[in-house]
Chains A and B, each alone.
Chain A
């Protein structure tokens, strides 16, 4: 029982849950970080999104079991290796999304709608859209935007700048494209078998798209620092632009020179300069928003 639960948890990829921190920006930027009610609501929303994204991985692994068995790394996944029984996985894959969606609608009706949209989009991704060039990365970006929107709804954020949505869309596209580039360069012909969509991309094309989204991200963020409503009048928020620039350059460096980028969630917690820059950025944001 405990073993099965553990395997179930592994299948739900807790490491990927870090993406769900994108529920919190609305709370942070709408100056409600220290409001216990909204903090509580947002935290519940975070947990619900973790369960929801876990369910998607579960469903994904259930459908991909045959293909995963052929893959050098993925064959060790609980379902592919047989450690997690199919009936357990199937039961959880049915019960968990239903429970999570019901809880989401109870928390807030609009949050429920967003959670449902998220689930539908992610399933559409798993069952086909991941093989459609460009749409695949746009769906990944949509996942991030929906997380932010979900956070905005539960925090009842009235002053959340629309520029941050643009910024997050572009940033998510950047991460998605960086990942494709990494897969394309590292796995060569092996990659083509496992992710068909990679055949449509080429490193040059991905570099062009990355150039497009990175420069747009920087501008969208700069526009946020100038034009958002609840920022200090002395424009001190623009002092945070260099951190964003550094982080983007550092990430590009990791993609190009170190062939990383395959798993953004690992870079996010493993590359010290990148972490330092993000922490400095976070501290600067907190100081400017809450202290000044």
Chain B
């Protein structure tokens, strides 16, 4: 039961929470041990909180998941995890992590509550509303970063990065919808009700808005962000962002993706190499120059 419970908590998706450390890195606090400690605690809070929301999500979607080729094996859909266990675990996880969050920092507690609220609202309601569903995903993303910013006391975290992160999250969410439409075809709406309201053409247009906005807001950060070196060397990292977005667009056209659209971020080696290069370039430019 415990193993099934952990599997239902989707530990793989915790990876999304590393975006929390953005404020620590870009706010130049990576050399301060106490802030790193606070951030790690906040990271654990976020992982537990998101697990609680995944449990709730799977509880709500159990019926639908039973008809999905891959999701039918999930513990709740397969029946190997009792509904009462899952519900109990969700409540306890949420309570523990919210207490931890309020204990670390009052503002972290507030942001974490908002995060949980938006995740639950997504699972229960927003997931069925066109456009609002992707906005909710992006909202949760920004709240993750905000959590990191609060615990790292990052007062000079560039606002452009929030803008950039929102667009990037929208980009990823829209690309995911598009890939589902491509792969599932006519069955798409059965698997995700909201997909009936999207069309490939609409998604392509929305993706072009958010992808170009991502590139531009990132460029604005490299010019006007806080802590960026005077010599504008941060702009050397723009090509990595361009490559990453283009590569992702390319992958999302494929019918035979080796994994879910999120997993691609850690499975496609050119993309991984690109992201690592980007990360090292940012670290070198911020901390060594």
Question: Which residues from chain A sit less than 8 Å from chain B, CB to CB?
Answer: 133-135, 138, 141-142, 162-163, 165-166, 169-170, 173, 200-202, 204-205, 207-209, 211-216, 219-220, 223
Q: Which of A166, A173, A212, A214 contacts B235 (CB 8 A)?
A: A166
- Chain A minimum-CB-distance residue to B223: A162
Q: List 30 A-B contacts (CB under 8 A).
A: A134-B246, A138-B239, A162-B232, A163-B223, A166-B235, A166-B238, A169-B242, A170-B215, A173-B242, A201-B250, A204-B204, A205-B249, A205-B253, A208-B207, A208-B211, A208-B249, A209-B249, A211-B204, A211-B212, A212-B208, A212-B211, A212-B212, A212-B245, A212-B246, A212-B249, A213-B212, A214-B212, A216-B215, A220-B219, A223-B220
User: B239: which of A162, A169, A200, A213 is its contact (CB, 8 Å)?
Assistant: A169
Query: B interface vs A, CB < 8 Å?
Result: 204, 207-209, 211-212, 215-216, 219-220, 223, 232, 235, 238-239, 242-243, 245-247, 249-250, 253
**A216, B220: Cα distance in complex, Å:** 12
Bound CA–CA A169/B238 (angstroms): 10
Given contacts A134-B247, A138-B242, A138-B243, contact A215 B208 (CB under 8 A): yes
Q: Using Cβ atoms and an 8 Å threshold, which residues of chain A touch B219?
A: 166, 216, 220
| CB nearest to B238 among chain A residues | A166
A113 to B209, CA, bound (A): 38
Across the interface, name the chain A residue whose C-beta is closest to B244: A134
Complex CA distance for A61 and B238, rounded to whole angstroms = 33
Q: Determine the distance from Cα of A207 to Cα of B204 in the docked complex, in whole angstroms.
A: 9
Interface centre among B212, B223, B247, B249 (most CB of A within 10 A): B212
Nearest-neighbor residue (CB-CB) of A166 within chain B: B219
Residues of chain B with a CB closer than 8 A to A173's CB: 242
B238:A200 contact, CB within 8 angstroms: no
With both chains docked as a complex, state the minimum distance between the C-beta of B177 and any C-beta of chain A, in angstroms: 14
Q: Which of A135, A166, A214 has the most CB of B within 10 A?
A: A166
Q: Which residues of chain A are within 8 angstroms of B235 by Cβ–Cβ distance?
A: 162, 165-166
Chain A positions within 8 Å of B212 at CB level: 211-216, 219
CA distance A219 to B215 in the complex (A): 10
Which residues of chain A are near B209, meaning CB under 8 Å? 215
> In the complex the two chains form, is A220's CB within 8 Å of B238's CB?
no
> Once bound together, how far apart are the Cα atoms of A31 and B56, in whole Å?
63
